[in-house]
Amino acid sequence: MDVEPYRGELVAFCYRMTGSYHEAEDLVQETLLRAWKARDRYDAARASVRTWLYRIAANVCLTALEGRARRPLPSGLGAPSDDPGAPLVPALQVPWLEPFPGTRYDIDARADLRLAWVAAVQVLPARQRAVLVLREVLAFSAAEVAEQLGTTVAAVNSALQRARAALADVGDAGTVTEPDDPEARAVVQRYMEAFEAADVPALVRLLADDAVLEMPPVPLWYRGSRDYGRFMERVFAMRGTGWRLRRLTANGQAAFAAYAPEPSGGHRLHTVQVLAVGDGRVAHNVVFADPRVFDAFELPREMPAEEFRRER
């Protein structure tokens, strides 16, 4: 029985369930270990290998999520700040949502992998979350999901209805433009050029009027192009100009790694920034400074100038 072809989609499933890329990889390892131990009991007449693996993965995730706090973004915890000079104090006790690196697995860039969607489903109780992902993302039937979760079809349909109602006000994650869309690529390219030049007015011109900037593990966040720009002025005043950026993808969205200039010369990895682009403007930027995120994207901590020249 070859289960390896399912690894990537199982990691994406566990990521949607937990909001953590690192935890998702660990849970898939546990899933495949359990599958190997139970391989002699697998009955092809009852379920396909894929359906059987998702039954194991769903229950591994539900066990892991028992008693766990949800993984939020800062915008899910309180009102935006209007003070660009507010102290940047990380809240390390919060289990923040993590991004999903775009190059680690061959996963379709789907709307249900977007950061906003994954953040929204973290609010749901774990079993509702499982039903929503299994039914609406992975398209298993209600009967299959009932078998996977050890419940009834009626209970699955009820949980799905409640999950849909809870997410009704989240908005359409599908309105985010794909990162390979020519217009989106052009917007991101101009944004990166303005960032490297520390040109705040040019950055602001590329923003939607109600653009959001947030930066876990710092719980502060800002809404509106004016406050976004004021905060960026602070960043460049603190860290200087002459940044270098490296294009990435994350959660099916455009992203980049930002390398800040060092006083002694060279550039050091500062953040991974995940952009949502829609209607020709940057609508949302989630800025991650966690070294674990850097590791997930396999990014070098320092980058020679010639590396940037080859990538641009």
Structure tokens at 11: 């990691």
Number of Cβ atoms within 10 Å of the Cβ of 138: 17
Tokens 């609406």 sit on residue: 136
Residue pair 283/211 in contact (Cβ under 8 Å)? The answer is yes
> What is the separation, in whole angstroms, between the first and last Cα of the chain?
44
Pairing of strands 253-261, 207-215: unpaired
Residue partners of 292: CB distance under 8 A and separation at least 6: 22, 98
- Domain chopping of the chain, boundaries: 1-68+125-166, 175-311
What per-residue confidence (pLDDT) applies to 158?
97
What per-residue confidence (pLDDT) applies to 305?
60
What per-residue confidence (pLDDT) applies to 311?
52
Number of Cβ atoms within 10 Å of the Cβ of 55: 21
Report the amino acid identity of residue 111. Answer: A
| Residuewise pLDDT in 10s, the chain (312 residues) | 788 889 999 999 999 999 999 999 999 999 999 999 998 999 988 889 999 999 999 999 999 999 888 999 999 999 999 999 999 999 999 999 999 998 888 776 677 899 999 999 999 999 999 999 999 999 999 999 999 999 999 999 999 999 999 988 665 444 566 667 888 899 999 999 999 999 999 999 999 999 999 999 999 999 999 999 999 999 999 998 899 999 999 999 999 999 999 888 889 999 999 999 999 999 999 999 999 999 999 999 997 665 554 454
What per-residue confidence (pLDDT) applies to 306?
57
Which fold, 175-311? Nuclear Transport Factor 2; Chain: A, (3.10.450)
What per-residue confidence (pLDDT) applies to 173?
47
Class at the top of the CATH hierarchy for domain 1-68+125-166:
mainly alpha
Number of Cβ atoms within 10 Å of the Cβ of 123: 15
- Cα–Cα distances in angstroms (integers) from residue 13 to residues 18, 57, 185, 286, in the given order: 9, 8, 28, 21
Q: Which residue pairs from 224-227 have beta carbons closer than 8 angstroms and sit at least 24 positions apart in sequence?
A: 224/80, 227/80, 227/81, 227/82, 227/84
Pairing of strands 281-288, 207-215: parallel
Q: What is the pTM of this model?
A: 0.92
Residue pair 124/163 in contact (Cβ under 8 Å)? The answer is yes
